[in-house]
Structure 1
Amino acid sequence: MPLEIFDLSGKAAIVTGASSGLGRHAARCLAAAGAKVAIAARRVEPLMELEKQIEACDGRALPLRLDVTDPASVSDCMKAAETELGPISILVNNAGVAVTQAALEVEEGDWDRVVDTNLKGAWLMAQALAEHMIRLGHGGSIINTASVLGLAGAAQIPAYCASKGGLVNLTRALAVEWARHGIRVNALAPGYIETEINRDFLASAAGEALRKRVPLRRFGTPEDLEGALLLLASEASRYITGSVIVIDGGQSAAL
């Protein structure tokens, strides 16, 4: 298979939760592959810096303020992305939050914030992009950032596990329903991936105990997700939909 099949030149993408962590890296990865990228998040200042980084490498980035839990904000984001970048054929649903609390201590507001962001927000973005694609008569790829904790449970993060489990099955449901429109819907399920958000914890004694349970004996890096991301974003995955790609160093296989 020629490597050109992974090229995203001429395509436009939206990455949510692009202000930090995996979303920030995903945006840079898609831009490096040739895509024009709408980088969206609630915090705009970090997006401006990301825009400079992408454009310094001859890429095209469009910073957009976005609250994925707000339908009006989702609609505004889609309209701005289409106006500035043209038809959107790739969505990386990456916006997400977590609250660490024992199940008996989780308050309703915390539960709602996690599930609304991780699951409802992904649904609103996917629905908006599918409507856009169907209206313009083209297909594309929706990539949901799930988690290995959407495939197996863990203590102290019940809302997160529930939201990611729901996202996994939402991925499958949308893949079945939208396939006739040429819209592929897949998910990435990362394990422990080191970012600026969790770096200190993963370097702690508790983190070391987690690392020893990973068969590859290391935590992942954002770069470890690039191959699967480009596969799902590009025409290389033209016959893949409804799939969940686990990227966890063998963690879930050893459970």
Structure 2
Amino acid sequence: MSLIKQLFDLSGKTALITGGSRGLGKDMARALAEAGAKIILNGQNPETLATAAAEFSAAGYEVMTLPFDVRNEASVVAAFATLDEQNIAVDILVNNAGIQHRQPMVELSSADWQKVLDTNLTSAFLVGREAAKRMIQRGQGGKIVNIGSLTSDLARATVAPYTAAKGGIKLLTKSMAAEWAKFNIQANAIGPGYMLTEMTQSLADDPTFDGWVKGRTPAERWGLPADLMGTVIFLSSAASAYVNGQILYVDGGMSSVL
């Protein structure tokens, strides 16, 4: 195998993707599987997980499911204990689980605020902590890929809790790098722009919003799930061995222009 192929090859690695049974998480999981990794899909809906796992298996990928609530510390700890019992080591963690809540701040309840922060930010800390503990103990390093957003740097009206959480993801990622780089753990983040998924289809169907996205983005289009595949493979592979604490925006150039 050539050096370049070796750098991006994930054969023999195991990747856990939170929120991996649908949407962008599922597409990133597929990319990692195509690069050779064994896949652990996380989610809370057993039926959705089973359907996704069946698709992966039918495509010839090695896959298992691990249902647990990423917001609940006891659930996260128990999930990793289950992996320990089965002698399964996580080499790559993609902290993808997340939700959105659109509402003006003056109408926002503290409960809705907390739910978004718990799902989008605290979960990355909890799952990242448990994964890193084991990576450090094994002494073989590892990869953590957190999913940020354009709102890791920029704000938009009506999505304050999401913006706060994704801003937190950016600095949580840097904190992970600061503490764990010496153990050969690389922690980086991806900041997707406006991606066309099932969750955003209603926005794309709105002519005004669709026009704003295309007009605001130099690429003049929405991002597609496939646009994240190369990035997640890069940040999960040996090709990014000296990249740490960074957030890579995959946004068609939106964050680069006024």
| The two structures share one fold, judged by TM-score above 0.5 | yes
Q: Is the 8 A contact 1:44 1:64 kept in 2?
A: no
Query: Which 4+ runs in 1 deviate beyond 6 A?
Result: none
Distance of aligned partners of 1:167 and 1:81 in 2 relative to their CA distance in 1, 3 Å threshold = same
1:34 corresponding residue in structure 2: 36
Q: How does 1:69-80 map to 2 (within 5 A)?
A: 69-80=71-82
User: What do the CA deviations read for 1:44-75 (whole angstroms, capped 9, x no partner)?
Assistant: 21111111111112211111111111111111
Q: Which residue of 1 aligns with 2:68?
A: 66
Select between 162-171 and 208-217 the one with higher mean Cα deviation.
208-217
Where 2:216 maps in the other structure, the secondary structure is: coil
CA contact (8 A) 1:8 1:30 kept: yes
Counterpart in the other structure of 1:189 = 191
* Counterpart position of 1:251: 254
Is 1:239 equivalent to 2:242 in the alignment? yes
Instruction: State whether residues 12 and 85 of structure 1, in contact with CA within 8 Å, keep that contact through their aligned partners in structure 2.
Output: no
Deviations 1:83-114 (A, max 9, x none): 44622110000000110001111100000000
- Cα pair 2:213 2:221 within 8 Å, conserved: no
Which residue does the alignment assign to 2:105?
103
What are the Cα deviations for residues 166-224 of structure 1, in whole angstroms up to 9, with x where unaligned? 11011001101101111110000000011111112112112222221111100000100
Match of 1:43 among 42, 45, 50: 45
Between 1:166-175 and 1:41-50, the stretch displaced more is 41-50
Q: Under a length normalisation based on structure 2, what TM-score does the superposition of the two structures give? A: 0.95
1:89 is matched with 91
More deviation, 88-97/64-73? 64-73
Q: Is the 8 A contact 2:97 2:120 kept in 1?
A: yes
Preserved contact between residue 42 and residue 65 of structure 2 (Cα < 8 Å): yes
- Residues of 2 paired with 1:85 and 1:102: CA distance? 47
Aligned-pair distance for 1:246?
Answer: 0.5
Quote the Cα distance in structure 2 between the aligned partners of 1:210 and 1:146.
18
Structure 2 partner of 1:225 = 228
- Equivalent residue number for residue 120 of structure 2: 118
- Cα distance in 2, alignment partners of residues 198 and 85 from structure 1: 38
One-letter amino acid of the counterpart of residue 74, structure 2: A
State the Cα distance separating 1:82 from its structure 2 match: 4.2
d(CA) in 1 for partners of 2:255, 2:176? 24
Structure 1: gaps of 5 or more residues: none
